[in-house]
């Protein structure tokens, strides 16, 4: 069966593109999804954009702006019927830094499915109404540190509940208090600020 025939028979609501076959997601395939899905999810994840299964412009036009879209490589904003849609780049940077922060700070012995699930929910809850309205799937990159802190908090809380943390004292905080725990994690975050190696007096 062709992919178009598969979409008619299987009635998927999600398409993940991992093929590096440029143009694999055709207008027919995408519109087949509209017959049974109000908000089809289309993620052409192949890199670079030249081999993406479809473009952001195509996805928004073919679905009349109803698509939930994210790609492997960045696409420019799409203007469609007076609305500006901002395609998201699907990237693990929204999850993994927070997982690493939480796991290292709390000495987590094992990363579980439940922890990753909670991290995913925390990431979704970071989205603002404005970002959702603009068609984004992930938060704005300018908020990545806040997002990472939120993800780390979710991981540590779940790991602590599972008895998988080896750091028994989170500073002077109560691990059951999310606000105190978030404050402790904030001070554990790496801050890329560098002290000059050459003193100003020696430059004169």
Question: CATH number for the domain including 32?
Answer: 3.40.50.720
Judge whether residue 180 has pLDDT over 90.
no
Residues 109 and 82 reside in one and the same domain: no
For residue 192, name the pLDDT band (cuts at 50, 70, 90): confident
Q: What is the mean pLDDT of residues 123-137?
A: 92
**Exposed / middle / buried, residue 180 (Cβ in 10 Å: 0-12, 13-18, 19+):** middle
Q: By the 8 A CB rule, do 89 and 73 touch?
A: yes
Tell me whether residue 172 is in a domain.
yes
Instruction: Read off the pLDDT of each residue in 57-69 and give the average, rounded to a whole number.
Output: 95
180 located within any domain: yes
Residue 198 lies in a domain: no
Cα(first)–Cα(last) distance of the chain, in Å?
74
Q: Please tell me which residue, 196 or 151, carries the higher pLDDT value.
A: 151
Q: What is the average per-residue pLDDT within 128-142?
A: 90
Structural domain ending residue among the three candidates 42, 71, 89:
89
Q: What is the pLDDT of residues 8-38, one digit of tens each?
A: 999 999 999 999 999 999 999 999 999 999 9
Q: What confidence category does residue 91 fall into, taking pLDDT thresholds of 50, 70 and 90?
A: confident
Q: What is the DSSP string of 112-174?
A: -HHHHHHHHHHHHHT--HHHHHTT-SS--GGGHHHHHHHHHHHHHHHHHHTT-B-----TTS-
Domain boundary among 36, 56, 89: 89
Q: Is the pLDDT of residue 167 over 90?
A: no
Kindly state whether residues 100 and 180 are assigned to the same domain.
yes
| Confidence tier at 191 by pLDDT (50, 70, 90) | confident
Given a cut of 90, is residue 203 above it in pLDDT? no
In a domain, 197, yes or no: no
Looking at the structure, do residues 98 and 171 belong to the same domain, yes or no? yes
Instruction: Record the pTM.
Output: 0.79
Who's near 181: CB < 8 A, 6+ residues apart? 153, 156, 157, 170, 173, 174, 175
- Same domain, yes or no: 48 and 99: no
Same domain, 81 and 148: no
Where does the pLDDT of residue 102 fall: very low under 50, low under 70, confident under 90, or very high at 90 and above? very high
Nearest to 185 by CA among 150, 138, 134: 150
Residue 175 has pLDDT above 80, yes or no: no
pLDDT on residue 193: 81
Q: What percentage of the chain carries pLDDT values higher than 90?
A: 76
Can you give the pLDDT at residue 171?
Answer: 65
Instruction: Print burial letters for 131-141: b (CB count within 10 Å at least 16), e (below 16).
Output: beebbbbbbbe
């Amino acid at each position: 069966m062709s992919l178009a025939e598969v979409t008619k028979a299987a009635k998927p609501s999600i398409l993940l593109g991992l093929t590096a076959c440029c143009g694999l997601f055709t207008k027919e395939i995408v519109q087949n999804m509209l017959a049974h899905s109000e908000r089809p999810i289309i993620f052409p994840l192949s890199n670079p954009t030249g081999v993406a299964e479809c473009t952001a412009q195509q996805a928004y036009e073919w679905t009349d702006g109803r698509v939930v879209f994210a790609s492997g490589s960045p696409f420019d904003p799409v203007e469609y019927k007076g609305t500006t849609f901002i395609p998201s780049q699907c990237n693990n940077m929204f999850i993994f830094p927070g997982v690493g922060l939480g796991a290292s700070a709390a000495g987590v012995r094992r990363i579980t499915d439940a922890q990753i699930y909670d991290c995913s929910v925390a990431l979704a809850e970071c989205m603002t109404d404005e970002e959702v309205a603009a068609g984004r799937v992930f938060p704005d990159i300018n908020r990545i540190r806040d997002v990472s802190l939120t993800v780390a908090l979710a991981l540590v809380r779940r790991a602590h509940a599972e008895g998988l943390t080896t750091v028994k004292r989170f500073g002077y905080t109560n691990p059951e208090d999310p606000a105190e725990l978030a404050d402790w994690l904030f001070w554990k975050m790496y801050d890329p600020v560098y002290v000059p190696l050459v003193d100003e007096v020696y430059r004169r």
